[in-house]
């Protein structure tokens, strides 16, 4: 075969990718072992039935055709209304482009703001696709770690020391995957001040914004930030639609016009009937409150179950779909901890260091299981932790 491009070959460098415990557990579960999977971030429940019905109606009604490149106007208008609600800043249809999921919005955001050879700062712990998304754009990046002792709130001064003359952006994610940290207003104000002073884009991944358990603060709402903030949004988590692949980017209108050209050469617009169902789901908030309440309930259930353990500490974990546990008092090597837990108690978790060094010594618990399963898993984890007392 002729030589593939170095850029595409380098998106996911070969070797370990951090998912080894998960895949081993999955194989054993499929072979019949009683393993509780707390390692993946996909809902255990189906998409709300109203959304499914809207999609079936759209398929039957003949919505089988190409749609406009930036998304159907009614879809963009519905997304703009949600962005206004999410960020607190009036958002126009021209500032929205629909994408097949939040990941595609992130890809578009990075492509739109970086040339090959440019540099970015990525705050860790981070979602696993971030490095590859910069590599796909031919851009370099420096990882700046938020500290467990700060509840995983990043420090703007530390971000500043990582800036280079060719740095174009900072990428943050709140509520955060994997830590569940919800960045404070002060933390976002400090990062915003830095972006303005150093003339940087801020890429703000807010796909968990409905799962923050309180007021959502978006950096787009801070003074001077609307013109330099790109928000990555998605219906995967908020509306229970992971497999539908629908999300959007909120960005300055001039940048959106350029991203439309990217859609021309990549997606060529979204799926017609999925777009129609998404309009109904967005206009009627199908599932949003129930999903947010469900995860809030699961989070407090799990965190409560961890109380009283001397060698396990909850960090971050204010929002999103995850709880982060510091297990370094039991085993500093979190990957070994995850393997030992799987062996001893048949619970699969993600080692924190799969998400960057900042989360070493931790494990990430996914809350994508019903209450009774989470209670059983927490019981197994307690027994495992107590065996080290």
19 half-sphere exposure, CB direction, 13 A CA radius: 11
Q: Does 101 bind ligand PLP (CB under 6 A)?
A: yes
Q: Does 242 bind ligand PLP (CB under 6 A)?
A: yes
Q: Does 247 bind ligand PLP (CB under 6 A)?
A: yes
Q: Does 366 bind ligand PLP (CB under 6 A)?
A: no
Q: Does 234 bind ligand PLP (CB under 6 A)?
A: yes
Q: Does 210 bind ligand PLP (CB under 6 A)?
A: no
Q: Does 207 bind ligand PLP (CB under 6 A)?
A: yes
Burial state string for 177-196 with b = 16 or more CB within 10 A and e = fewer than 16: bbbbbbbeeebbbbbbbbbb
Q: Does 205 bind ligand PLP (CB under 6 A)?
A: yes
Q: Does 173 bind ligand PLP (CB under 6 A)?
A: yes
Q: Smallest distance from the beta carbon of 352 to ligand PLP, in angstroms? A: 15
- Cβ–Cβ under 8 Å, residues 330 and 193: no
Q: Smallest distance from the beta carbon of 6 to ligand PLP, in angstroms? A: 26
Q: What Cα–Cα distance (Å) separates residue 197 from each residue in 127, 194, 308?
A: 27, 5, 45
One character per residue 15-54, x = contact with ligand PLP (rule: CB under 6 A): --------------------------x-------------
Q: Smallest distance from the beta carbon of 236 to ligand PLP, in angstroms? A: 3
One character per residue 102-121, x = contact with ligand PLP (rule: CB under 6 A): xx------------------
- Cβ–Cβ under 8 Å, residues 151 and 313: no
88: left (phi over 0), alpha (psi -120 to 50) or beta: left
Query: What's the rounded Cα separation, in Å, for the pair 83 and 292?
Result: 17
Tell me what percent of the chain is helix, strand and coil, each rounded to the nearest 5.
45, 15, 40
Q: Does 174 bind ligand PLP (CB under 6 A)?
A: no
Nearest to 315 by CA among 200, 216, 176: 176
Q: Which stretch binds ligand PLP (CB under 6 A): 50-58, 212-220, 234-242, 290-298?
A: 234-242
Q: What Cα–Cα distance (Å) separates residue 25 from each residue in 36, 38, 116, 324, 365?
A: 9, 10, 39, 20, 14
Give whichever of 102 and 151 is closer to ligand PLP, judged by the CB atom: 102
Count of residues near ligand PLP by CB under 6 A: 13
Q: Smallest distance from the beta carbon of 233 to ligand PLP, in angstroms? A: 8
Q: Does 127 bind ligand PLP (CB under 6 A)?
A: yes
| Extended beta strands in the chain, E state | 36-37, 96-99, 119-124, 140-145, 167-173, 201-205, 229-234, 247-250, 313-315, 322-326, 347-348, 350-351, 362-366
Can you give the binding site for ligand PLP, defined by CB under 6 A?
Answer: 41, 101-103, 127, 173, 177, 205, 207, 234, 236, 242, 247
């Amino acid at each position: 075969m002729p030589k593939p491009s170095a850029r595409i070959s380098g998106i996911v460098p070969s070797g370990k990718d951090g998912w080894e415990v998960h895949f081993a557990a999955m194989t054993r579960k499929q072979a019949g072992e009683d393993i509780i999977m707390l390692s993946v971030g996909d809902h255990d429940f189906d998409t709300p039935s109203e959304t499914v019905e809207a999609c079936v109606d759209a398929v039957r009604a003949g919505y089988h055709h190409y749609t406009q490149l930036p998304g159907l106007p009614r879809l963009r208008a519905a997304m703009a209304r949600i962005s206004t609600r999410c960020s607190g800043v009036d958002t126009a249809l021209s500032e929205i482009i629909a994408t097949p999921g939040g990941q595609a919005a992130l890809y578009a955001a990075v492509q739109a703001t970086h040339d090959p050879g440019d540099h970015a700062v990525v705050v860790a712990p981070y979602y696993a696709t971030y490095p590859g998304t910069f590599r796909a754009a031919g851009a370099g990046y420096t990882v700046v770690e938020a500290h467990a002792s700060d509840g995983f709130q990043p420090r703007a001064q530390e971000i500043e020391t990582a800036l280079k003359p060719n740095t174009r952006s900072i990428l943050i994610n709140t509520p955060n995957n994997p830590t569940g940290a919800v960045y404070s207003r002060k933390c976002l104000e400090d990062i915003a001040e830095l972006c303005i002073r150093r003339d940087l884009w801020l890429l703000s991944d807010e796909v968990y914004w409905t799962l923050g358990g309180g007021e959502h603060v978006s950096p787009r709402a801070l003074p001077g930030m609307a013109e330099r903030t790109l928000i990555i949004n998605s219906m995967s988590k908020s509306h229970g639609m992971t497999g539908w692949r629908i999300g959007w980017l909120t960005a300055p209108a001039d940048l959106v016009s350029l991203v439309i050209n990217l859609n021309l050469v990549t997606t060529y617009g979204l799926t017609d009937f999925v777009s129609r169902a998404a309009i109904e789901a967005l206009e009627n908030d199908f599932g949003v409150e129930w999903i947010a309440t469900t995860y809030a309930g699961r989070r407090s259930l799990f965190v409560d179950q961890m109380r009283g353990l001397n060698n396990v500490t909850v960090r971050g974990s204010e929002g999103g779909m995850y709880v982060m546990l510091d297990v370094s008092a039991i085993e500093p090597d979190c990957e070994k901890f995850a393997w030992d837990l799987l062996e001893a108690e048949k619970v699969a978790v993600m080692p924190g260091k799969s998400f960057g060094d900042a989360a070493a010594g931790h494990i990430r618990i996914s809350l994508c299981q019903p209450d009774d399963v989470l209670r059983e898993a927490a019981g197994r984890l307690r027994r495992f932790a107590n065996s080290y007392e």
